[in-house]
Structure 1
Amino acid sequence: MYIVIAHGDLDGLAAAALYTIHLDIKPSDVKLLISYPNRLHKDLTNVLRENIRKIAIIDIGLNTTSYYYVVKALKSLSSRNISIEWFDHHVWEKEWIDTISGMVQKLVLRRDTCATGLVFETLVDELKHCDVATLRRFVNAVCAVDQWKFNVWEAPFLLRYVEYRNDVEWYRNVYLFFVDMLRSCNIDDLISRITKYVESYVDEELKVVSTVCRDSFRITLDNIRLGVYVRRNVIPNASIIGNAMLNICGVDIAVIVNNDLSRVSLRSQRCDVRTIAAYLGGGGHEKAAGAEIRVDLPLRLLWKLNIAKAKVASVVARKIINLIEEFKSFRGEVCVKLYT
């Protein structure tokens, strides 16, 4: 059995689809697992019970919280002579690279492209079901989303289609759809078949974006404007909300709490938010990062039951602001300036 462990977003699913095509086997012979840095070690441990031929880890980085446990799981897999390949474009510490590279058969790390671009460029000679130009068109659209460039028209369609839902069943269906479309080499048909989802998504997105400044909590720390927004729904995703907060609301750092109060996403154009995420036990990129948070059970229950949501959002936002103030005290500054 082949196991592909991928990040649950457009880049992770698209890269997983390309990787599956290069294997030249039926998708039913591939087990797709949706994972994230904070739970990768659990997924690697769980697959020890499977009859595995190869594992591919795609678009999943490491963080200080889970690194030790990932290494422990990889040691167990290595002892069974299971082939492991890892493709990622997040920030890795040198210690992580030195350790992991000795435990896997292939470790491909680059930060100048998205994970889909990384898989494509590494395996392009083995992608025989479709011409290179068509595949590159798909890859460019995915990277345009992941790198937040949107310099090709297909990019916003793909983003909103994948983010239409955020459950595992949906992500697996998206992955299978991508595999089917890429094997048939028909990107135009792919776009036409997802349009209905995109239109529905945009309707909900506009409702949120039009009120995001009003509904966010803002404070200034060291002349850095910080904004916190607590999402009430899956749509739109954190990057769309973050973009609105940075460019419409005028904050320097946008913090978006996901709709189940379990995680924060950080976005900025001038500050290295990965340093904040790392302090919170997470990771990511300099301009886009994330971490888990802990919110007290009574607040989570009130939120889930749709009781006093405005009050709960206020309390959660205050908690996030307190955490960032703690980071400021630890680091001496809230904004670690970007050099690019």
Structure 2
Amino acid sequence: MDYYAIVHNDFDGTASVAVYARAVKSLPKNVWFTEPTKVHNLLSKLEPRGVYNVMIADLGLNESTFDKIVESCKKLIDQGVKIQWFDHHVWKEEWKSKLSEIGVEVHHDTSTCGAGVVHKVMNPDDEFSSKLASADCSVDIWLHNDPMGEKLRRIVESNKDYGWKKKLIETFYNGILWNEEFQKILEDQVDQELKGYQKLPKYYRVIEINGVKVVVAIRWKGPPDISYAAQYLMTRTGAKVFVSANGKAISFRSSTINVRLFAAKLGGGGHPLAAGASLKIPLIYRILRRIGIISPANKWVCNVVTKVINDVGFKEYQQKDITQH
């Protein structure tokens, strides 16, 4: 079957394509890696060029771009294109209804990751896809219940190039979960991370909000990835929440607190244990950050985080949180 793939630019997006490819027994004619905030632009420019099947996975929807997405999907469907959309982020019921009404085949399940949705729908009996989806979900929705997830995430994100992700899709499609090349990359990545941990004290501070410790960090260059840094710093400091800001966006992580509520307060979203939102740090603080003066930006973010958490409160994560639509 000829088809195009449009997915999120991360491990979950890569795994989603591989699982789908195994289900339909063919690799995509082309694959686009994008972000939820940009998918409407991609769809508006997409031309079938003889390919009349499109799979979209691991891409949530935004209120501000939803109408444009509907318009673009309808245009493609009117040209004879079949669109399948697999996602696990929080959707409004009206979004599912409107897309379904124009002919989009919507598969939405918040209890798993993007690859997990594809696996459930397309090939639930494929043992390899089950292993890949398990590893992916472990890190994507912060369950941390499959050690292979920590290893594969490092492999996928060791190289941001399109060609690398395409190679990984082909590798997974062929039923290879781990090989010697991956092992070498993992060893190199871990070495870099260990060196990176030494520079972290300059970038974070610990604050206390209503008796709960929160780590607030300004993003640094290079490894470790914020997810690994989050686990490390929360364990090291006894904090229950980790917050990272890079100047334009803010990310929340926790193992026990529903941080999606904090992201939603700032107009964002995500998963109960891993979420984010747009947050533009004032220009003067960003300039100071570029020349190595981190504290002003950190203090500003701490004030934002304190206000948000005071407004929302700490809500313990419950398993049911991942199944609420």
Structure 1 residue runs of 5 or longer lacking an equivalent are none
Any idea what SS the aligned residue of 2:85 has? strand
1:3 alignment counterpart: 4
Alpha-carbon shift at residue 257 of structure 1 (Å): 2.3
Partners of 1:108 and 1:283 in 2: how far apart? 19
Query: Contact conserved, 1:272 with 1:337, CA < 8 A, in 2?
Result: yes
Query: Contact conserved, 2:21 with 2:173, CA < 8 A, in 1?
Result: no
Instruction: Choose the corresponding residue for 1:335, options 311, 314, 318.
Output: 314
Any idea what SS the aligned residue of 1:248 has? helix
Question: Is residue 179 from structure 1 mapped to residue 170 from structure 2 by the alignment?
Answer: yes
Alpha-carbon shift at residue 74 of structure 1 (Å): 3.0
Partners of 2:138 and 2:260 in 1: how far apart? 21
2:54 alignment counterpart: 55
Q: Name the aligned partner's letter for residue 182 of structure 1.
A: Y
Question: Is residue 308 from structure 1 mapped to residue 291 from structure 2 by the alignment?
Answer: yes
Q: Name the aligned partner's letter for residue 22 of structure 2.
A: I
* Paired positions, count: 318
Query: In the TM superposition, what whole-angstrom CA distance separates every residue of 1:56-76 from its partner, at most 9, and x where no partner exists?
Result: 111111234443443343344
Question: Is residue 136 from structure 1 mapped to residue 139 from structure 2 by the alignment?
Answer: no
1:286-325 to 2 correspondences below 5 Å = 286-297=272-283, 300=286, 303=289, 307-309=290-292, 311=293, 313-325=294-306
Taking a change above 3 Å as real, the CA distance of residues 338 and 123 of structure 1, as seen in their structure-2 partners, is same
Sequence identity of aligned pairs in percent?
26
Any idea what SS the aligned residue of 2:84 has? strand
1:86 alignment counterpart: 85
Any idea what SS the aligned residue of 2:46 has? helix
Alpha-carbon shift at residue 216 of structure 1 (Å): 0.8
2:185 alignment counterpart: 197
Query: Contact conserved, 2:90 with 2:270, CA < 8 A, in 1?
Result: yes
Q: Name the aligned partner's letter for residue 24 of structure 1.
A: K
Alpha-carbon shift at residue 16 of structure 1 (Å): 1.0
1:101-250 to 2 correspondences below 5 Å = 101-124=100-123, 132-165=126-159, 167=160, 169-170=161-162, 172-183=163-174, 185-187=175-177, 190-210=178-198, 212=200, 215-250=203-238
2:322 alignment counterpart: none
Q: Name the aligned partner's letter for residue 82 of structure 1.
A: V
Partners of 1:62 and 1:13 in 2: how far apart? 19
Partners of 1:99 and 1:117 in 2: how far apart? 24
Please report the TM-score for the alignment, with normalisation by the length of structure 1: 0.81
1:20 alignment counterpart: 21
Any idea what SS the aligned residue of 1:22 has? helix
Query: Contact conserved, 1:157 with 1:191, CA < 8 A, in 2?
Result: no
Alpha-carbon shift at residue 296 of structure 1 (Å): 4.4
Query: In the TM superposition, what whole-angstrom CA distance separates every residue of 1:300-321 from its partner, at most 9, and x where no partner exists?
Result: 5665xxx522x2x323323323
Taking a change above 3 Å as real, the CA distance of residues 210 and 334 of structure 1, as seen in their structure-2 partners, is farther
Q: Name the aligned partner's letter for residue 227 of structure 2.
A: S
Taking a change above 3 Å as real, the CA distance of residues 68 and 244 of structure 1, as seen in their structure-2 partners, is farther
Taking a change above 3 Å as real, the CA distance of residues 52 and 321 of structure 1, as seen in their structure-2 partners, is farther
Partners of 1:177 and 1:89 in 2: how far apart? 22
